[in-house]
Amino acid sequence: MNPFWSQIARELSPYVPGEQPRILNLVKLNTNESPFGPSPLALEAMRNAATDTLRLYPDPEATELREALAVHHGIKPEQVFVGNGSDEVLAHVFVALLKQPKPLLFPDVTYSFYPVWAQLFGLACETVPLDGAMRIRVEDYQREAGSIVIANPNAPTGVALSRAEITRLLEDHPDIPVVIDEAYVDFGGESSVPLIADHPNLLVVQTMSKSRALAGLRIGYALGDVGLIEALHRVKNSFNSYPLGRVAQAGATASVRDEAYFRESYARVVAGREAMTRELIRLGFAVLPSSANFVFARHPALGGSEFAAALREHAVLVRHFNKPRTSPYLRITVGTEDDAQRLIAAAAHILGHE
């Protein structure tokens, strides 16, 4: 260990992102990116923004983007906060809202960045086990807490809670911040955005990395009561005034305005998910019901770690989480039709189904 490290750096256990290999002709189904490109209008807007004006700092408030998001979601621009990927937005949320004297609750199986931020920012937290079917049960959150964060659909399971279940959670906890991370909601989940009007403690976080195919641009945002959004601005302006550059703001704004392309591309992903799920079930996989752009699947014949390694030998990359409850599973991103065929052919070969 380097002697110049602070105590904070020494004690961290950082999040490990999915591999971004530089191998050609790989079927990359490990980081839940979109198999289709971003809106052509977004690409054009970014090309147009790459001019001499880049010498100037961007709008620190990302006004146009926030206005476009407000129109898309039917709320006011003051209810929108944007950041450099929803990871950055969530990090600010941990500091601005979730850090309370009582513990933060989240599921035992969920986005693995939550415990990392909790450690970085010194939050006490308690995990709430998923049930035997790997579902979140909102009744299990009926206990004393300082705050709650839930990914809906959950990651890496893909299983979604209904809006009625989220309403029940909010009714049980009117006095603490409740954050719903909707990174995958556009692929079939029920968004909690309509609940914002009646719940000043609800913050909904979304991203443009998945359904808008802009993971490389890094755009995330939060929607909620103006009081919650103000807290996020206070933290952001104590950290980085300009998290989104000019090109990113232009591309993201054009993407939000291109409703037709957005609808078409998430519908294609949903169709791909259903087709891939049918094929996996045919090969004997147990697949959790997914409302996301990935599935969480296990096979009785082979452990998750062995299966992921065998698929890698066939140049197919999927994600495996080596924790007790998740280790039998593979998390497989929905790709193109061709990706799905190569995945299924490789899995069939591994299982000796030929």
Ligand X SMILES: Cc1ncc(COP(=O)(O)O)c(C=O)c1O
Q: Which of 49, 98, 106, 181 binds ligand X (CB under 6 A)?
A: 181
Least separation in angstroms between CB 352 and ligand X: 33
Q: Is 209 in the site for ligand X (CB under 6 A)?
A: yes
Q: Is 220 in the site for ligand X (CB under 6 A)?
A: yes
Helices (H) and strands (E) in the chain, counts: 11, 12
- Return the sign of the alpha-carbon dihedral for residues 244, 248, 254, 257: negative
H-helix segments, the chain: 7-11, 40-49, 63-73, 85-93, 113-121, 163-172, 226-236, 246-257, 259-282, 304-313, 337-350
x-marked contacts with ligand X along 19-48 as a string, rule CB under 6 A: -------------x----------------
Q: Which is nearer to ligand X, 79 or 86 (CB)?
A: 86
Q: Which of 46, 136, 183, 250 binds ligand X (CB under 6 A)?
A: 183
Q: Which is nearer to ligand X, 151 or 232 (CB)?
A: 151
Burial 12-21 (b: 16+ CB within 10 A, else e): eeeeeebeee
Q: Which is nearer to ligand X, 110 or 167 (CB)?
A: 110
Rg (CA), the chain: 20
Least separation in angstroms between CB 212 and ligand X: 10
Distance of alpha carbon 4 from alpha carbon 20, whole angstroms: 30
DSSP, res 47: H
What does the CA dihedral 230, 152, 244, 35 come to, rounded to 10 degrees? -170
Q: Is 247 in the site for ligand X (CB under 6 A)?
A: no
Q: Is 350 in the site for ligand X (CB under 6 A)?
A: no
Q: Which is nearer to ligand X, 87 or 339 (CB)?
A: 87
Q: Which of 49, 81, 87, 312 binds ligand X (CB under 6 A)?
A: 87
Q: Which stretch binds ligand X (CB under 6 A): 35-43, 81-89, 135-143, 295-303?
A: 81-89
Least separation in angstroms between CB 224 and ligand X: 16
Q: Is 86 in the site for ligand X (CB under 6 A)?
A: yes
Q: Which amino acid is at 11?
A: E
Tokens of 122: 């010194």
Q: Is 207 in the site for ligand X (CB under 6 A)?
A: yes
Residues that contact ligand X, how many (by CB under 6 A):
13
Q: Which is nearer to ligand X, 289 or 303 (CB)?
A: 289
Within 92-131, the residues that bind ligand X by CB under 6 A are 111
Least separation in angstroms between CB 350 and ligand X: 26
Q: Which of 49, 54, 52, 87 is nearest to 65 (CA)?
A: 49
Q: Which of 215, 283, 302, 310 binds ligand X (CB under 6 A)?
A: 215
Residue labelled with tokens 């977004």:
42
Q: What are phi and psi of 133, to 5 degrees?
A: -95, 15
Q: Which is nearer to ligand X, 270 or 347 (CB)?
A: 270
Least separation in angstroms between CB 184 and ligand X: 7
Within 125-164, the residues that bind ligand X by CB under 6 A are 151, 155
Contact between residue 107 and residue 150 where contact means Cβ atoms under 8 Å apart: yes
Measured at the CA of 227, the angle between CA 224 and CA 229, to 5 degrees, comes to 55
Give the interface with ligand X as residue ranges (CB under 6 A): 32, 85-87, 111, 151, 155, 181, 183, 207, 209, 215, 220
